[in-house]
Structures are given as C-alpha cells and as structure tokens.
C-alpha cells in the first residue's frame, strides 16, 4: 500500500517538476549565444575546485565556512535521500546498507550534518532578521525576496529536524542497526520508555515528513531564489574560462569593420547562416545570452558582489546583485510572452524600466563583483552589453564619452592631442 | 629623480629601425597616457631608461602609435574599438612584431586578451613581469641603499590584478628594492578599484556619497605610507588626486614601480 502511495507521490513530484523545467527550457531557447562551451577537462577541474571545494566562498571566512559545511552535509544527505526514494518504491529498508563502511561514513556525516545544519539555519535566520548585516539588505530586495529567503531557510530547518527524527526513532525502534549515527545515538535512549508502536509511528511520520518536504521543496525551488541549489553547479561548470579582463568580441561588428576597411569584400557574397543581429547589445529580455539567464537563475542574492562594488560602496545607484535579479525578473515578466510570440512587446524594456541608465554608467569594470561571486556570475559582461546597446543603437553615451570617441577617431587618443606630439615624453 | 631622467633620452623608433633592415625584438607600447599625460610621461621615460640601461633590443611606434580602443570598447563603442584594433594590428603585422611590452594595464589587457579575437596574436608582456624577471636573472641590478627606509603601499590595478592575476611581480620588485610593502586592508584580488576603469576616467561619476578615488586613498593612508606605488596611469591620476584632496601631496609621493626601479638602479 505505502509503495503505491509513494509511487503516486513521486510521479506527481516529477510531473510538476518537469512542467517547471520545460517552462525554463523554453525561456532558455529564447536566449542568444554567449560563447562556445569547450575544454570540458578544464571545466570539470573548475567545478571541482569552485563548487565541491567551495573555493570562492571561503573569501568570506566565517559565512563561507558555514556555507561549506552546509553544502558538504547536503551532499552526504543527498545519498540518504536517494536511498529513501529506492526504499519507498521497493518497500525495502535502508537498501544502500550493502555499501558497508562507505554507508557507515555517509550516514554518520549525514547525521552530524543534520544537527549542524539545523543549528546554522537558526543562526542564519537570526542573522538575517535580527542582525543588521548590510549585505543581506539593499533596495533591490523586495519583501517577497526576504520572504523567499526565510521560506527556504525554514524548509531546510524542517528537513534537518525530520532527518534527525528519522535517525533517532530508527535507532530507538531497532535492535540491529545499519549505519552509524553519532549524535542521534545520544538522543535515542531518551525515548526508551515509549512503546515500540509509538516509536515506529514516529519514525514513519518523520520518514514521510522528510521525503514529502523534499518533494515540495524541489517544486518550490524553480520559483525561488533558492533555485541556486540546482543551478549553481551548472553555472560554475558553464562559466567562461577566459581571464576576467577579457570582453567578448562582437563578430557582427567585426564583419562590418572589415567591410569598411576593405571595400572589395563588400561586394563579395555575405557568408551564409550569419544574419546581422536584430540589435547590438542588450536592451531587453530577448537580447539576453544563455549565460545571463543561467547567472540569474543560479544567483541566491547573497550580495557578495554588491558589497565589494566600488560604485555601490560610494553610494552610487549601481548594485551588481540588482542587475542579476533584474535579468530574472524581466525574463519572468516578458519571457513567457516571447515564447508565444517572438515579436511580443509590452511597451517596456529592461533599460529605463528595471535598470536605469545611471546604474549602467556607474560601473568601473573593476571585476570585483565577478571575482567575489562564488558561482562565477559574470556581471561586468552583462553591464557592458547594456552599454553597447546604449551607444551603438541609441548613441546615448554621456557627452564626455562622446568627446573621447571623437578624439580617438580623429587623433587616435582619448585626449585632444596631435599624433605629432606622441614622442614628447622622451624630452 | 635620477640624473639621467632630467635630460632627453634616446628612444629607438620602429620606422627608423625597420628602415635599416633591423627588426627589434620588442615593441614598447607606450600608450596614450605615456604619450600625453604629463605625469605619466615621466613613467614612460623611466621605463625606457631602464630598457636602455639593460640594453634591450626594442623600439616604440612613436607618431604611428594609436589608442588601443580600450576606453571606447568599455564605453560600449565596439565599432570604434574594432576599427582602432584592426588598424593597429595591420601596423604590428607590417613591422612583423612578435613581442609587445606594455606599461599601461588597460593596453596590456586589451592587446593580450582581446586583440587575438581579431587576428592579432602577439606575446604581450606587462612591464612588471618583465622587470621582475630581469631582477631575478640578475640582469637588473639594484643599490638598495638608494631606496632605504621608505614605507610603500602598493595599489593593485584592477586590470593587472583581478583581470589578469598579476599580483606577485610588483611585490617581488618592491621587496627586491629593499622596501617594505605595507598591504592595504583591501589588497590583491580584494583590492578596491581607484574609480577610473571602464572609461570612468573620462567622465564625471554618477551621483553618490563619495568619490571612489577618495575611498581608495583613505585605504592607502591607513598604512601610513611614504610612497603609494602604482602600476597604471589611471590609478596614478586618481590616487595623486586623492593625495591632493587630503592635502598629503607634500608628505606622500605617488610613484610608479618603474620610477622606483629607475631611482635605485645601478
């Protein structure tokens, strides 16, 4: 009976998740190319260092350490969750126990992690709600964002409580134990006086509670900033391998410039398959690259980027975190319409809608945000693409910049000096 | 200032050298700031002086040099950037240039990382790494007594540091000069920008509570330095302005790493 119920619940979980995944997949199909994904060896190496060893997160020692323990604990607990799914479908009990010592280790790490993570989550909730930590606030974070964060923390807390409950009542209800549960083993004897039926019932409640919470959480995630859990590792894997200082080349411009510089080629047949893009740079959702969008899905709004941004630190309107949140917001708002009709317009745009021109021009391209992001989110590339739109489609650069453009064009220097004076420094 | 830098120095110009049938090993890319910024012209001169002293086979493009296109590109003008880049690449190829040494980190970054996309593939060397190498190999000799008892704080330019992971060469040089580098709280990959990158150098900043260069100058002042060492023309402009703003320009000097070497070189 319980196997049938479990199968149905699991099927529903997958169907709902697939529905969300297809919606997101369709949005990805709207995106533009960013760069070719090659060098899989290097990408795997980067993923191991950045994701599994949590390299970047340790730039912030205390919060980073806590995050790393939560992450590693999660990995161990994930094995247990997988076992629960198999048990639930097959009617077995602790089916992975044949793994022996490895099983003992995973269960032991999972058990300790459950308590550690529960404790950390309490600290995180206190930190977020009572301590005034600048990074966790900001004008770009709406009430909904804060509620989203607290919902995720609460879900994780309940997951850990039910996991601990499962372990405790498993120990209290069995004479022969598989796996090692260091902390639960201390707590289990406290329930010695309770009838074995009650113990079994409590185990069932925690078991079902835990797995149902996982199923519910998994289906909330695609609509939460905590989608991070699914998207962060892929985001690291797909992040660019080039130095942070490198800007992406606009090949469409290269073609035009080559034609200008070598007019004969202008009469040659245009290469096939490469239509001139509808727009230079990024104005709105239809211009996002796949990297912009995956960045926005992976972002969990931690604010490390904004906390190191020189413009933000000195009170300018720019917040790199906001830029990334705005990508997701705008895609959510306009994307589904674009899926149905690629020419859809709501007479709004990302630029001057969610993102002001002032924010775009405040960036110093210092790459502090990109360096700080534990997930390799690439804020500067996005901001520079917004500038490319403003300048090349609207000629809307600040007037001082228009002056340097004409200086560079006329004298080959941003300042108004003559070529002839280029060697004056030797005097 | 070293005596040699008070008078005119001899700098080989590519067109002249090429006309004699020779191909210099290195192109010294001076950059627009090296050519036109009154303060940074001295840095270009100091570096050329070091190259002369070392007997390096190099030349500059002189009147033929033109902006790399960096400020245009980072201000969103890809078209202008690519026109500049392709013109420069044609010139480099005409002179069969293989190795380029830069002083400006913005020029360095764009020549090294971005010109290859347009077919310009060269070995691009930042002057700090070049100088550190010359010190390590013993070709460049230093009289430590010339630079004693100065407290230095080195400001990492974004386009050498985070952009290209060059952190050790400048610190190696400062150390080799016998100087003590007191790190700012935010240094290396944590370093705060001077505020001039991404074409900010050429425009007013957006409204805010403070200018970035003041925030960064305060970082530097907290180390109580005699010298703020920089390695970028824009950082130099910003931090020199910061020292003026704080009325510290009499007590504290803002010098480029090349100038520190030129002073202590034997």
Q: Which pLDDT tens digit goes with each residue over A405-418?
A: 999 999 999 999 99
At residue B204, the pLDDT reads 87
Residue B173 lies in a domain: yes
Within a domain: residue B177? Answer: yes
Checking if the pLDDT of A51 tops 60, the result is yes
Question: Residues 6 or more apart from A332 whose CB is under 8 A from it?
Answer: none
Task: Identify which has the larger pLDDT, B1 or B254.
Answer: B254
Examine residue B25 and state whether it is found in any structural domain, yes or no. yes
Q: Which residues fall within 8 angstroms of residue A408, CB to CB, at 6 or more apart? A: A414, B67, B69, B71, B72, B80, B84
Q: Does residue B188 share a domain with residue B118? A: no
Provide the pLDDT confidence category of residue A65 given band limits of 50, 70 and 90. very high
d(CA B216, CA B226): 16
Question: B124 lies in which domain range?
Answer: 3-130
| B10 & B111 share domain | yes
DSSP three-state, residue B13: strand
Residues A172, A184: Cα–Cα separation, whole Å: 10
Least Cα separation, residue B150 to chain A (angstroms): 27
Domain boundary among B99, B130, B161: B130
Q: Are residues B148 and B123 in the same domain?
A: no
Contacts of residue B98, Cβ cutoff 8 Å, sequence gap at least 6: B25, B122, B123
Position A275 pLDDT exceeds 70: no
**Residue A270 scores a pLDDT above 70:** no
Q: Where are the domains of chain A?
A: 2-232, 251-268+276-411
On the question of pLDDT at A289 being above 60, the answer is: yes
Whether residues B126 and B151 share a domain: the answer is no
Give the gap in angstroms from C-alpha A352 to the nearest C-alpha of chain B.
16
- Is the domain of B76 the same as that of B192? no
Does residue B136 lie in a domain region? no
Of B72, B107, B130, the residue that ends a domain is B130
Q: Say whether A313 and B212 touch across the interface (CB within 8 A).
A: yes
Q: How near does any CA of chain B get to the CA of A333, in Å? A: 27
**Which pLDDT belongs to residue B6?**
82
Count of domains forming chain B: 2
pLDDT at residue A266 tops 60: no
The pTM for the full model equals 0.93
Tokens of B222: 């907290």
CA distances from A422 to A337, A407, B22, B66 (A): 55, 14, 23, 9
Contacts of A243 in chain B (CB under 8 A): 109, 113, 163-165
Q: Are B97 and B145 found together in one domain?
A: no
| Test the B interface: residue of A253, A283, A366 with most B CBs within 10 Å | A366
Express each pLDDT in A200-212 by its tens digit.
Answer: 999 999 999 999 9
CATH number where B234 lies: 3.40.50
The verdict on a CB contact (< 8 Å) between B35 and A316 is no
DSSP code of A165?
Answer: H
Please give the full DSSP string across B89-112, using - where no structure is assigned. HHHHHHTT--EEEESSHHHHHIII
| Residues B44, B159 within the same domain | no
B103 has a chain A CB within 8 A of its CB: no
Q: Which of B79, B102, B130 is the last residue of a domain?
A: B130
Q: Are residues B177 and B105 in the same domain?
A: no
Testing the interface with A: which of B69, B206, B232, B239 to mutate, by most A Cβ within 10 A? B206
Partners of B228 in the beta sheet? B153, B254
CATH for the stretch A251-268+276-411: 1.10.1060
Q: Are residues B227 and B251 in the same domain?
A: yes
| Lookup: tokens for A390 | 């403003």
Residue B2 pLDDT: 65
A·B CB contacts under 8 A: 217
Q: What is the mean pLDDT of chain B?
A: 95
* B207 domain residue, yes or no: yes
């Amino acid at each position: 009976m319980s196997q049938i119920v479990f199968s149905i619940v699991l099927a529903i979980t997958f169907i709902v998740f697939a529905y969300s995944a297809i919606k997101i997949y369709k949005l990805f199909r709207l995106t533009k190319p960013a760069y070719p994904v090659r060098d899989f060896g290097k990408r795997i190496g980067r993923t191991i260092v950045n994701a599994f060893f949590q390299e970047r997160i340790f730039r912030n020692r205390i919060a980073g350490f806590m995050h790393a323990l939560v992450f590693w604990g999660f990995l161990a607990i994930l094995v247990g969750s997988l076992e629960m799914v198999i048990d639930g479908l097959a009617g077995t009990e602790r089916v992975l126990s044949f793994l022996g010592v490895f099983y003992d280790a995973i269960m032991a790490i999972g058990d300790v992690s459950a308590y550690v993570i529960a404790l950390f989550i309490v600290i995180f909730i206190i930190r977020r709600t009572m301590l005034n930590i600048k990074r966790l606030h900001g004008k770009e974070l709406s009430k909904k964002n804060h509620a989203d964060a607290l919902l995720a923390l609460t879900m994780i807390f309940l997951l850990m409580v039910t996991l601990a409950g499962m372990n405790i009542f498993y120990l209290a209800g069995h004479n022969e134990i598989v796996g090692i549960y260091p902390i639960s083993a201390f707590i289990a004897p406290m329930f010695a006086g309770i009838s074995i039926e009650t113990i079994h019932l409590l185990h069932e409640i925690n078991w079902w509670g835990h797995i149902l919470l996982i199923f519910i959480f998994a289906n909330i995630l695609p609509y939460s900033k905590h989608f991070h859990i699914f998207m962060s590792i892929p985001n690291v894997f797909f992040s660019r391998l080039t130095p942070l200082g490198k800007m992406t080349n606009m090949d469409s411009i290269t073609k035009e410039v080559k034609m200008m510089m070598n007019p004969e080629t202008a009469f040659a047949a245009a290469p096939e398959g490469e239509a001139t893009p509808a727009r230079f740079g990024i104005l709105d959702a239809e211009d996002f690259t796949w990297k912009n969008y995956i960045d926005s899905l992976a972002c969990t709004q931690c604010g490390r980027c904004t906390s190191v941004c020189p413009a933000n630190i000195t009170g300018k309107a720019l917040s790199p975190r906001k830029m990334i949140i705005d990508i997701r917001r705008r895609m959510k708002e306009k994307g589904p319409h674009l899926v149905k009709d690629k020419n859809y317009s709501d007479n709004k745009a990302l630029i001057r809608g969610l993102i002001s021109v002032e924010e775009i021009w405040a960036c110093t391209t210092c790459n502090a945000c990109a360096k700080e992001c534990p997930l390799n989110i690439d804020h500067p590339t996005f901001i520079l693409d917004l500038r490319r739109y403003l300048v090349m489609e609207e000629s809307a650069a600040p007037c001082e910049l228009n002056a340097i453009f004409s200086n560079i064009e006329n004298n080959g220097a941003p300042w108004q000096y003559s070529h002839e004076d280029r060697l004056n420094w030797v005097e | 200032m070293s005596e040699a830098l008070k008078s005119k120095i001899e700098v080989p110009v590519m067109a002249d050298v090429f006309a004699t049938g020779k191909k210099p090993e290195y192109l010294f890319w001076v950059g627009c700031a090296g050519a036109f910024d009154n303060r940074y012209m001295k840095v270009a001169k100091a570096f050329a002086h070091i190259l002369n002293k070392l007997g390096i086979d190099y030349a500059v493009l002189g009147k033929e040099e033109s902006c790399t296109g960096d400020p245009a590109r980072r201000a969103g003008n890809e078209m202008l950037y690519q026109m500049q880049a392709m013109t420069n690449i044609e010139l480099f190829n005409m002179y069969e240039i293989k190795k380029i040494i830069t002083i400006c980190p913005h020029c360095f970054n764009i020549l090294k990382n971005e010109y290859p996309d347009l077919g310009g593939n060269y070995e691009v060397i930042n002057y700090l790494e070049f100088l550190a190498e010359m010190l390590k190999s013993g070709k460049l000799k230093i009289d430590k007594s010339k630079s004693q008892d100065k407290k230095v704080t080195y400001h990492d330019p974004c386009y050498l540091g985070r952009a290209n992971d060059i952190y050790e060469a400048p610190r190696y040089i400062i150390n080799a000069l016998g100087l003590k580098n007191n790190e700012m709280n935010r240094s290396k990959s944590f370093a705060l920008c001077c505020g001039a990158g991404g074409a900010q150098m050429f425009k007013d900043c957006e409204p805010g509570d403070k200018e970035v260069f003041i925030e960064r100058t305060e970082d530097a002042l907290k180390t109580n330095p005699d010298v703020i060492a920089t390695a970028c023309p824009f950082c130099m402009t910003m931090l020199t302005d910061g020292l003026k703003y704080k009325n510290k320009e009499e007590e504290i000097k803002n010098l480029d790493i090349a100038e520190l070497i030129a002073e202590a070189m034997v």
